[in-house]
C-alpha cells in the first residue's frame, strides 16, 4: 500500500509539474515576469532566487605618455605628462538569495527575479505569474498587459506540454517494447507471442469456470500454445471433455479446468471466449517516434469523444458513477499497473497525461479552458471582464470541482471496502 501511494505521488507530480512548466516556459518566452515557480504545492519550504549584478572589472593598465609643446616669448616650451590608464571590462556576477519559509515576498525580492522553490505538498508544482489575476494591466511584464493571443498561448501551454509528455512516453514505450495485439502490420516487430483472452461471453463454460479478460493461455493439457488457431483446434477436438488450462493472470500462474461445448455461433467446439495473439512489439527509434505520435493523437481523440459522452450523460441525467475515478481510484489503478511492469506504468502515465490535458481545456471556471473562455468573451466585448467578477466565478468553479473530487473519492473508497 505504501509503495502504491509513493508511485502514485511520483506519477501525479510528474504530470502536474510538466503542465505547470508549460505555463512557466511560455510566460518567460513572452517576457512576462514569473514571480515563483515551485516543485510541490505551497506552503513554501525554501526557495532560491538568482541575483545578477553588473560591474566593471580591471583587467590591465597601461602607461600613457603625452607631449605638449607651446611657443613662448623665451622659446618653445615642451611639457611631458605621464599617466596610467586602467582597462576595464563589464562583468556579470550572479549569486543566490535564499527565501526561507512561507513568507510573502518583498517588492525588492520580486524585482530581483523568479523564486525557485521546494514546497511541502509533494503534488507536482505551481507557477505564480505577475498579473494572472487581472492586475497590473499597464505593465509590459504583466500577464494582464499582454495581447489576447499571447495570454491564450500562455494558458494553453500547460495542456500542450501534457500532450507532448504523452507523445514522449508512448515513443519510449515503442522503443523499449510493449505488449500489443499482433497482426499482419506489426508481426515482424513482435517477439514472445502469447495468446490472451480479450472477451468472455456470458452464460458460457469460460464464464462458469472463472476465466477473465486479460488471462494469458500458456498450456492446454500440458501442451504449450502460442497461436489462436491451435487453441481453437484443441477446443474443437475436446467437445464435452474437460481440459486443463495453465494461465497467467497478472503476475501469477494458475490452473483452471473447463469443458468445451458445441457452439452454434461459431459452428464448432469452444468455451465462449475471444482470443488475440499478443507479443512484445519493438520498433526502431525513428519508427517508434512516428508510432508514438500516431498513438498520442488517436487516443487524444478517443478520450475527447469519451468526455463528450460523459458530459452528455450528466446533462441527460444518466448514471456516470462507474465511468469516473477520483484520486483514490487512480492511485489504486496506478498500483495495479505498476505491478504489471515498468512499460505498463509508462503507458498509464501517458493516458493520464492526455486525460489531464482534456480536463484542463474544458471551458469550466478555474480550469485553463475556463480562463480561455474569458479571453474569448473579452475579444467579443472589446474589454476584459471585471477582475473581481472573474475571480469570484473561478472561486465558485474551484469549489464545485473540489466537491466533485470529494464525492468521487468517497465512492472510490466505498468500492474498495465493499470489494
Whether pTM exceeds 0.85 = no
Model confidence at 325: pLDDT above 70: no
Using CA atoms, how far residue 378 sits from 156, 264, 299, 371, 390, in Å, is 17, 64, 33, 11, 11
Which pLDDT does position 155 carry in this prediction? Answer: 95
The CA radius of gyration of the chain, in Å to the nearest whole number, is 33
What pLDDT, on a 0 to 100 scale, did the predictor assign at position 63? 60
Contacts of 331 (CB under 8 A, 6+ apart): 4, 5, 8
Class at the top of the CATH hierarchy for domain 180-281 = mainly beta
pLDDT tens digit string along 174-213?
888 877 666 656 556 666 577 888 888 888 898 899 988 8
* Sequence ranges of the domains in the chain: 173-177+283-418, 180-281
Q: Are 136 and 142 a contacting pair, CB within 8 Å?
A: yes
Of the pLDDT bands very low, low, confident and very high (cuts 50, 70, 90), residue 3 is: confident
Strand boundaries in 137-265, DSSP class E:
178-181, 190-200, 216-220, 223-224, 243-249, 252-258, 261-263
The torsion angles phi and psi of 264, rounded to 5 degrees, stand at -65, -30
Arithmetic mean of pLDDT over the chain = 82
What pLDDT was estimated at residue 157? 95
Residues 43, 76: Cα–Cα separation, whole Å: 81
Task: Say if residue 419's pLDDT is above 60.
Answer: no
DSSP summary character for residue 114: P
- Residue 101, exposed/middle/buried by CB under 10 A (0-12, 13-18, 19+)? exposed
Number of H helices, E strands in the chain: 10, 12
In the chain, helix, strand, coil percent, each to 5? 45, 30, 20
pLDDT exceeds cutoff 70 at 300: yes
**pLDDT higher than threshold 80 for residue 240:** yes
Residues belonging to the chain: 419
Q: How confident is the model at residue 22 (pLDDT cuts 50, 70, 90)?
A: very high
pLDDT > 90? residue 89 = no
* Whether the Cβ atoms of residue 193 and residue 224 lie closer than 8 Å to each other: no
Confidence of residue 267 (pLDDT cuts 50, 70, 90): confident
Amino acid at each position: 500500500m505504501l509503495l502504491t501511494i509513493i508511485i502514485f505521488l511520483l506519477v501525479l507530480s510528474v504530470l502536474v509539474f510538466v503542465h505547470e512548466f508549460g505555463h512557466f516556459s511560455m510566460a518567460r518566452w513572452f517576457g512576462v515576469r514569473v514571480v515563483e515557480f515551485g516543485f510541490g504545492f505551497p506552503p513554501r519550504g525554501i526557495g532560491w532566487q538568482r541575483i545578477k549584478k553588473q560591474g566593471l572589472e580591471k583587467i590591465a593598465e597601461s602607461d600613457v605618455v603625452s607631449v605638449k609643446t607651446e611657443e613662448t616669448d623665451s622659446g618653445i616650451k615642451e611639457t611631458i605628462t605621464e599617466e596610467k590608464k586602467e582597462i576595464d571590462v563589464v562583468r556579470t556576477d550572479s549569486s543566490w538569495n535564499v527565501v526561507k519559509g512561507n513568507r510573502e515576498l518583498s517588492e525588492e525580492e520580486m524585482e530581483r527575479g523568479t523564486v525557485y522553490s521546494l514546497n511541502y505538498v509533494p503534488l507536482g508544482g505551481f507557477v505564480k505569474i505577475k498579473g494572472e489575476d487581472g492586475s497590473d494591466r499597464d505593465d509590459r511584464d504583466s500577464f494582464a498587459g499582454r495581447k489576447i493571443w499571447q495570454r491564450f498561448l500562455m494558458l494553453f501551454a500547460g495542456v500542450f506540454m501534457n500532450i507532448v509528455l504523452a507523445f514522449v512516453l508512448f515513443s519510449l514505450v515503442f522503443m523499449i517494447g510493449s505488449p500489443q495485439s499482433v497482426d499482419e502490420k506489426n508481426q515482424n516487430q513482435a517477439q514472445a507471442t502469447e495468446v490472451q483472452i480479450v472477451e468472455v461471453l456470458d452464460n458460457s463454460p469460460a464464464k462458469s469456470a472463472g476465466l477473465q479478460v486479460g488471462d494469458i493461455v500458456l498450456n492446454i493439457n500440458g501442451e504449450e500454445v502460442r497461436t489462436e488457431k491451435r487453441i481453437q483446434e484443441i477446443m474443437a477436438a475436446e467437445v464435452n471433455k474437460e481440459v486443463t488450462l495453465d494461465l497467467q493472470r497478472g503476475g501469477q500462474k494458475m490452473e483452471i479446468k473447463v469443458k468445451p461445448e458445441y457452439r452454434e455461433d461459431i459452428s464448432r467446439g469452444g468455451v465462449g471466449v475471444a482470443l488475440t495473439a499478443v507479443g512484445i512489439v519493438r520498433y526502431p527509434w525513428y519508427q517508434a517516434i512516428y508510432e508514438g505520435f500516431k498513438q498520442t493523437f488517436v487516443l487524444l481523440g478517443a478520450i475527447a469523444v469519451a468526455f463528450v459522452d460523459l458530459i452528455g450523460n450528466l446533462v441527460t441525467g444518466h448514471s456516470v458513477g462507474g465511468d469516473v475515478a477520483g484520486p483514490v481510484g487512480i492511485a489504486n489503478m496506478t498500483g495495479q499497473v505498476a505491478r504489471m511492469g515498468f512499460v505498463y506504468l509508462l503507458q498509464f502515465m501517458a493516458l493520464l497525461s492526455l486525460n489531464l490535458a482534456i480536463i484542463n481545456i474544458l471551458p469550466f471556471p478555474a480550469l485553463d479552458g475556463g480562463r480561455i473562455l474569458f479571453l474569448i468573451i473579452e475579444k467579443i466585448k472589446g474589454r476584459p471582464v471585471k477582475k473581481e467578477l472573474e475571480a469570484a466565478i473561478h472561486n465558485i468553479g474551484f469549489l464545485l470541482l473540489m466537491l466533485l473530487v470529494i464525492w468521487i473519492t468517497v465512492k472510490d473508497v466505498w468500492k474498495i471496502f465493499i470489494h
